[in-house]
Structure 1
Amino acid sequence: MPDYPFEKGLYETGDGLFAYLQPDGGWGWSNAGLITDCGQSLLVDTLFDASLTRDMLNIMSDAAGVGADDIGTIVNTHANGDHCHGNGLCRHAEVIASEASAAEMAELPAPALAAIMAQAKGLGPTGQYLLDIFGSFDFTDVAEKHPTQTFSGEYSVQVGDKQVDLIEVGPAHTAGDVLVHVAGDRTVFTGDILFIEGTPIMWAGPVANWIAACDRIIDLEPKTIVPGHGPVTDAAGVRRVQDYLHFIDREARQRYDAGLSVRDAAHDIRLGDFSSWGDSERIAVNVSTLYREYAGDTSPPDVTALFGLMAELR
């Protein structure tokens, strides 16, 4: 396992490459990355609100000499707000995302999240759960900026003399997940294809795509792997995420075939070796997504009901 402490802050992982880590890696506490070379810079993801992103950018300015106005490119690995709600603080940056992520970003803008949180106290156990997991973030203070450049498949950008390859591996966690690969420095920023020491949450699927995305990371033979949540990891950490995905697919399939409901299956599955991972209640979303996959159901998930079930499981 790479020797980087899982403590809040910026860590140089290579020649001009940095990981910005946010413990505890649970809901909303995402990581980001910075790639610099020859006076140019690329930011991999921003954070869940503007305040957190400002703090990160100030730390990057002090430690790496790269201020918000110096960043030329932002790559959003996917559409979830904890990876893009600070984009607008980098006023001069081109924002790149996959076409699927760009479309998904418009589905739940920050004002909608702010409205939900304002009503949370009146929503019973589900509202208390939302306050528990999202109460630390200020969705009234964001800096949204939508992608100015989109792509499908693969796309490469230059940062000084460094080639940065963007590899679309979604739909998996979300509709348009992207890996950011710096081959010359044997580094991959994975977005939420990897949750390390935390439970993966599969909003989109299919599960085979996510398993294949893990294989893709391993095949790149990186020395440093920066996950979307959790500590910096290595190939063994990637395989553990795969193990969870295989496990949950197998367990959900057995219960689907036996006719159990999503709720009953989520309560029935025993997590065993994965029970120590944070946010284990996300099994509710994973079972729901897998059930819809097994049934060939392409309708969107009932997010409100799923947060209610996660609250119940928690």
Structure 2
Amino acid sequence: MSYARGLVETGKGLFAWLQPDGSWGWSNAGLIVDGDQSLLVDTLFDVPLTAEMLAAMRDATGLGGADITCLVNTHANGDHTHGNCLCSNAEIIASAASAREMEGFGAHQMAAMKAAGASGALGVAGRYFADIFAPFEFAGIEERAPTRTFSGQLDIKVGDRDVSLIEVGPAHTAGDVLVHVPDARTVFTGDILFIEGTPIMWAGPVGNWIKACERILAMDVDTIVPGHGPLTDKAGVRAVANYLEHINREARARYDAGMDAETAARDIAASGGLGRFAGWSDAERIVVNVDTLYREFSGDKTPPDALALFDRMGRFYYDRRG
């Protein structure tokens, strides 16, 4: 499918905002419009990017950021929330689990880590963090938290259109949400789908993520807007589910053999264990995925050590580049 940067009209009153190449921070968003009512699916990683998107949406629909009546954050990661402040009049809806997660890590921490990494602090983790997030400006972002939360499913109206918000997390993060527009046969998936890029499993369990993919496959939809990557179809959903099933098997075999998580991740990548997924971008995310799987296998409920995982990803990334 074609994959150009900018606004794509996917149906009557429906739009997707796409950001190639879909790697770290280059996320997608969506807009649902009916009459003077509108629902924005996610904002972007910083204020300038979000302002550009909202300007394009205003040109297409006549509705600017201040006119957006409802904003849904599909999950807590900043590349889907940091532009919330530009939707000053919108009700902001997220799952309760996502809202709690947003409270724990915000744009000011991102700015501090990026600055520390650029200065040489935090070692390989800091260097990697500063490199992958170099295009984005986190300083000065005013966080705007959800004003309404839910658990399970929330059915709402956008004008006369029915929209279902379906919580499928924990999976990618603690509280992932799908946004389903039945009359348009469309679903916005947030980061349940990374298309042509390696998914990253911060939360798990892996079974929940696979079930989320199965839920999308069971929907009567033609248009599927992923959190990262080009517009896709059900074949793209199956590919993500197949990746998750594949790494679950590969990681389990190495866990049972007594291999530690970092060694297992590198062994999967080096031994051809990534199979047909080896060409997907951001291959270093395998170290996070294996670490999450190992904690699931062992019953370890402690939160992941994000700095340690960025260090592992950084070393994987730089080693592959010589």
What TM-score does the superposition give when structure 1 sets the normalisation length? 0.98
Moved more, 269-278 or 41-50: 269-278
SS in 1 for 2:165: strand
Kindly provide the amino acid, as one letter, of the partner of residue 284 in structure 1.
Answer: V
* Residues 141 and 56 of structure 1: CA distance in aligned 2, closer, same or farther (over 3 Å): farther
Query: What's 1:22 paired with?
Result: 19
Deviations 1:133-180 (A, max 9, x none): 111100104242100000000001111111110000000000000000
State whether residues 92 and 148 of structure 2, in contact with CA within 8 Å, keep that contact through their aligned partners in structure 1: yes
| Structure 1 residue 105: Cα displacement | 0.3
For residue 274 of structure 1, the aligned residue among 254, 267, 277 is: 277
Query: What's 1:248 paired with?
Result: 247
SS in 2 for 1:172: coil
Whole-Å separation in 2 of the counterparts to 1:168 and 1:56:
26
Whole-Å separation in 2 of the counterparts to 1:204 and 1:233:
24
Query: How many residues are treated as equivalent by the alignment?
Result: 311
Whole-Å separation in 1 of the counterparts to 2:16 and 2:254:
40
Whole-Å separation in 2 of the counterparts to 1:8 and 1:141:
25
SS in 2 for 1:210: helix
Whole-Å separation in 1 of the counterparts to 2:182 and 2:110:
37
Deviations 1:188-242 (A, max 9, x none): 0000000000000000000000000000001112110000000000000000000
| Structure 1 residue 128: Cα displacement | 2.1
Where structure 2 has 5 or more consecutive residues not aligned to the other structure, the ranges are 318-322
Kindly provide the amino acid, as one letter, of the partner of residue 5 in structure 2.
Answer: K
| Structure 1 residue 111: Cα displacement | 0.5
What TM-score does the superposition give when structure 2 sets the normalisation length? 0.95
**Does 1:39 find its partner at 2:42?**
no
SS in 2 for 1:176: coil
Query: What's 1:293 paired with?
Result: 296
Whole-Å separation in 2 of the counterparts to 1:64 and 1:22:
20
| Structure 1 residue 284: Cα displacement | 0.5
Whole-Å separation in 1 of the counterparts to 2:227 and 2:296:
24
**Does 1:55 find its partner at 2:52?**
yes
Query: What's 2:3 paired with?
Result: 6
SS in 2 for 1:259: coil
Where structure 1 has 5 or more consecutive residues not aligned to the other structure, the ranges are none
Kindly provide the amino acid, as one letter, of the partner of residue 304 in structure 2.
Answer: P
SS in 1 for 2:104: coil
Whole-Å separation in 2 of the counterparts to 1:162 and 1:72:
14
The list of structure 1 runs, each at least 4 consecutive aligned residues, that deviate by more than 3 angstroms after superposition, is none
Q: Superposed, which structure 2 residues align to 1:136-151 within 5 Å? A: 136-151=135-150
Identity fraction in percent: 63
Whole-Å separation in 2 of the counterparts to 1:198 and 1:141:
30
State whether residues 37 and 159 of structure 1, in contact with CA within 8 Å, keep that contact through their aligned partners in structure 2: yes
Whole-Å separation in 1 of the counterparts to 2:141 and 2:283:
28
SS in 2 for 1:13: strand
| Structure 1 residue 11: Cα displacement | 0.5
SS in 2 for 1:165: strand
Q: Superposed, which structure 2 residues align to 1:204-219 within 5 Å? A: 204-219=203-218
SS in 2 for 1:229: coil
Kindly provide the amino acid, as one letter, of the partner of residue 142 in structure 1.
Answer: I
SS in 2 for 1:307: helix
Whole-Å separation in 2 of the counterparts to 1:13 and 1:298:
41
For residue 65 of structure 2, the aligned residue among 47, 54, 68 is: 68
SS in 2 for 1:181: strand
Query: What's 2:320 paired with?
Result: none
**Does 1:82 find its partner at 2:85?**
no
| Structure 1 residue 64: Cα displacement | 2.1
Query: What's 2:111 paired with?
Result: 114
Q: CA RMSD in A?
A: 0.9
Query: What's 1:306 paired with?
Result: 309
Kindly provide the amino acid, as one letter, of the partner of residue 110 in structure 1.
Answer: A
